[in-house]
């Protein structure tokens, strides 16, 4: 039996097992990121270094890695073996989008929208929950989950404080945290797993939106209704209370953060244009070849012209930990591919898929959710996308959607499951609200359970 398996592997099974153990160790370390007091980029960077060294010295005289020149556009180019391992398209999208959002935020657009919605609610807690819930979903879809949670969470803390409703802050923040991962499902660029899986599967922006949006709408409504019930968020009872609340939120000035009216409108137009171009990238001649990364970077550059003398401030504010994490992660995954670890996992996944169209697809979704609840969903998405690609999974397969839904919604099971829920918990702690790991799981399980049930049903009924 062992001889047969050895024959199937161009790489010795022992070497594959060693790298598999290394991958498990990486995932474990990422899950224990908080305990290790180490940033993701350093964790994955260490594993990338070790993986590259082991892959160079193990696996025979030539090692496991394809050293030598790389063929780019018919030209042989010398470059380090770990450079082509990185998916620069994904890095470009994240880098460009982050810069674009950071500069656009300076225009005051997002705070303007947030305050206008607060005023539109008239300070009524239930209306406020609906406004903030929908805003969280939309911001998560357009910006990124973490930025959306920061903006909405910060506003929630300030506005509930002003309204004297601090007793509702914990419920609001929890619901918003859970909705960031729902909103993160709305478009192809709303979350990193979407970008990775979407690119691997060849799903276009419009196709992604059309398939995901009905689920996002239904799940948002269900989550807010559940949240209002569980956290006892009700409408104000008397005219006097309503009048008082209206006066309190009237004190918010949506124009306070707008330093230049011209830049505000420029930011507004550019945001609309950015979404339009990103949505139609695959249909735009020429641009479709350059890709979404080019679009994101181009829009970032255009916005940065406004701050041409101080662009370094925006570069400093970039999430370099996240970008370095991606680069390191892609290197590790590339090594794992050469060490046949992904083949090994793929074989396991094939068995799950072989459970049948219904059970297999559902099992992939649930297992992806459980896995991403305890560790970062990005490595999960990257590994599964690679494996599904290697298995020749067609782009219209429901399995891609199982990974997308599972990886995003799994983040709602625990506070460490996604960066945005972690931000929600951070804001809770900042405002001295008790929320332990166990308390979060206990509070979030009913929401996450319903969301995963809806997702499984949706994928099996409409996307299969």
Partner 1 sequence: MAQIDQFESAFKSASKTLYEHAEVEIASVLVVTDLATAKAEAYAGRIRGFLETLGDDVSWRTVLGEEYGSAEALLPLVEQANPDLVVTYRNLHTTSWRFPHSLGSCVNVLTQVSRPPVLLVPHPLAGRELDHALQNTDRVMCVAGHLTGDHGLVNHGAYFTCPGGTLFLAHVEDDTVFERYMETISKIPEIDTKVARETIAEQLLKEPVDYIESCRAVLREAGVDLTVEDVVTRGHLVSTYRDFVQEYELDLLVLHTKDEDQLAMHGLAYPLTVELRAIPLLLL
State the DSSP string of 172-220. Answer: HHHHHHHHHHHHTTSSTTSSHHHHHHHHHHT--HHHHHHHHHHHHHHHH
Nearer to partner 1, 255 or 395 (CB): 255
Nearest distance from residue 106's CB to partner 1, in Å?
11
Q: Hey, which residues between 254 and 273 contact partner 1 (CB under 8 A)?
A: 254, 256-257
Q: Which window, 199-207, 212-220, 251-259, 377-385, contacts partner 1 (CB under 8 A)?
A: 251-259
Nearer to partner 1, 144 or 451 (CB): 144
Q: Give the Å distances, CA to CA, from 354 to 8, 230, 344, 346, 364.
A: 20, 39, 15, 12, 11
Q: State both tokens at 187.
A: 């478009």
If binding is defined by CB under 8 A, does position 157 make contact with partner 1?
A: yes
- By CB under 8 A, which span of 12-20, 252-260, 272-280, 410-418 interacts with partner 1? 252-260
Residue among 55 and 427 whose Cβ is closer to partner 1: 427
- CA 342/CA 366 separation, integer angstroms: 20
Looking at beta carbons only, is 204 or 426 nearer to partner 1?
426
Among 155, 173, 365, 387, indicate the residue that binds partner 1 (CB under 8 A): 155
Tokens standing for 231? 């956290």
384: nearest Cα among 405, 368, 408: 368
Q: Which is nearer to partner 1, 138 or 366 (CB)?
A: 138
Contact stretch for partner 1 (CB under 8 A) within 14-22, 74-82, 156-164, 409-417:
156-164
| Listed ranges 143-151, 177-185, 280-288, 380-388: which one lies at the site for partner 1 (CB under 8 A) | 143-151
Question: How many angstroms separate the CA atoms of 115 and 359, rounded?
Answer: 45
Give the separation between CA 218 and CA 228, rounded to whole angstroms.
16
Question: Does 94 interact with partner 1 (rule: CB under 8 A)?
Answer: no
Between residues 51 and 121, which has the closer beta carbon with respect to partner 1?
A: 121
- ∠ Cα 403 407 410 (to 5°): 130
Instruction: Give Cα 376 to chain centroid, integer Å.
Output: 10
Of 172-180, 200-208, 244-252, 383-391: span binding partner 1 (CB under 8 A): 244-252
403-442 binders of partner 1 (CB under 8 A): 423, 426-427, 430
Q: Of 419, 417, 412, 414, give the one whose Cα is nearest residue 453.
A: 412
| Burial of 387 (C-beta count, 10 Å sphere; 0-12/13-18/19+) | buried
Contacts of residue 259, Cβ cutoff 8 Å, sequence gap at least 6: 106, 108
- Does the footprint of partner 1 cover residue 247 (CB under 8 A)? yes
- Shortest Cβ distance from residue 423 to partner 1 (Å)? 7
Residue 310 contacts partner 1 per CB under 8 A:
no
Q: How far apart are CA 421 and CA 419, in angstroms?
A: 6
Q: 305 has which bridge partners?
A: none
# binding residues, partner 1 (CB under 8 A): 25
- Applying CB under 8 A, which part among 150-158, 344-352, 388-396, 450-458 lies near partner 1? 150-158
SS (H, E, C) 283-342: HCCCHHHHHHHHHHHHHHHHHHHHHCCCHHHHHHHCCHHHHHHHHHHHHHHHHHHHCCHH
Binder among 6, 241, 253, 259 for partner 1 (CB under 8 A): 253
245 binds partner 1 (CB under 8 A): no
Distance in Å, CB of 256 to partner 1, minimum: 4
Antiparallel, parallel or unpaired: β 75-77 and 70-72 = antiparallel
Report how far apart, in Å, the C-alpha atoms of 195 and of each of 144, 286, 350, 386, 429 are: 12, 20, 23, 13, 31
Nearer to partner 1 by Cβ, of 143 and 353: the residue is 143
- Of 423 and 459, nearer to partner 1 (C-beta) is 423
Rank residues 65 and 105 by Cβ distance to partner 1 and give the closer one: 105
Q: How far apart are CA 225 and CA 230, in angstroms?
A: 9
| 32, 38, 134, 158: which one binds partner 1 (CB under 8 A) | 158
Choice between 232 and 253, CB closer to partner 1: 253
Residues in contact with partner 1 by the rule CB under 8 A:
111, 114-115, 147, 150-151, 153-155, 157-159, 162, 247, 250-254, 256-257, 423, 426-427, 430
């Amino acid at each position: 039996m062992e001889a047969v398996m050895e024959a199937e592997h161009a790489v010795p099974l022992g070497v594959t097992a060693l790298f598999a153990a290394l991958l498990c160790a990486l995932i474990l370390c990422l899950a224990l990121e908080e305990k290790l007091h180490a940033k993701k980029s350093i964790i994955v960077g260490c594993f990338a270094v070790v993986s590259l060294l082991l892959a160079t010295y193990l696996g025979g005289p030539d090692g496991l890695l394809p050293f030598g020149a790389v063929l780019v556009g018919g030209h042989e180019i010398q470059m380090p073996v770990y450079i082509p391992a990185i998916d620069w398209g994904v890095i470009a999208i994240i880098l460009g989008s982050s810069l674009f959002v950071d500069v656009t935020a300076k225009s005051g657009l997002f705070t303007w929208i947030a305050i206008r919605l607060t005023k539109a609610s008239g300070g009524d807690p239930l209306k406020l929950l609906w406004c903030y819930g929908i805003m969280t979903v939309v911001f998560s879809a357009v910006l990124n989950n973490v930025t959306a949670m920061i903006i909405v969470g910060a506003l929630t803390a300030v506005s509930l404080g002003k309204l004297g409703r601090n007793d509702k802050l914990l419920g609001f923040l929890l619901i918003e945290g859970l909705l960031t991962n729902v909103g993160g499902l709305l478009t192809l660029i709303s979350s990193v797993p979407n970008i990775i899986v979407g690119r691997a599967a060849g799903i276009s922006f419009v196709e992604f939106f059309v398939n995901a949006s009905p689920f996002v709408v239904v799940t948002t409504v269900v989550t807010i209704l559940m949240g209002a019930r569980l956290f006892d968020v009700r409408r104000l009872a008397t005219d006097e209370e309503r009048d008082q609340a209206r006066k309190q939120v009237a004190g918010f000035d949506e124009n306070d953060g707008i330093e230049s009216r011209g830049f505000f409108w420029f930011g507004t137009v550019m945001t609309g244009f950015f979404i339009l171009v990103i949505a139609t990238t695959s249909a735009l001649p020429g641009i479709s070849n350059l890709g979404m990364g080019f679009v994101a970077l181009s829009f970032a550059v255009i916005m940065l012209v406004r701050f041409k003398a101080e662009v370094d401030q925006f570069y400093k504010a970039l999430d370099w930990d996240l970008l370095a994490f991606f680069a390191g992660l892609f290197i590790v995954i590339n090594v794992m591919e050469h060490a046949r670890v992904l083949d090994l996992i793929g074989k396991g996944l094939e068995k799950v898929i072989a459970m049948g169209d219904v059970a297999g697809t559902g099992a992939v979704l649930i297992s992806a959710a459980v896995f991403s609840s305890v560790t970062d969903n990005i490595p999960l998405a990257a590994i599964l996308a690679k494996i599904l690609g290697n298995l020749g999974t067609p782009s219209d397969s429901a399995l891609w959607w199982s990974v997308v839904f599972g990886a995003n919604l799994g983040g709602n099971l625990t506070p460490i499951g996604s960066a945005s829920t972690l931000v929600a918990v951070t804001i809770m702690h900042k405002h001295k609200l008790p929320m332990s790991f166990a308390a979060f799981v206990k509070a979030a399980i009913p929401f996450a359970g319903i969301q995963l049930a809806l997702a499984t049903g949706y994928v099996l009924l409409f996307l299969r």
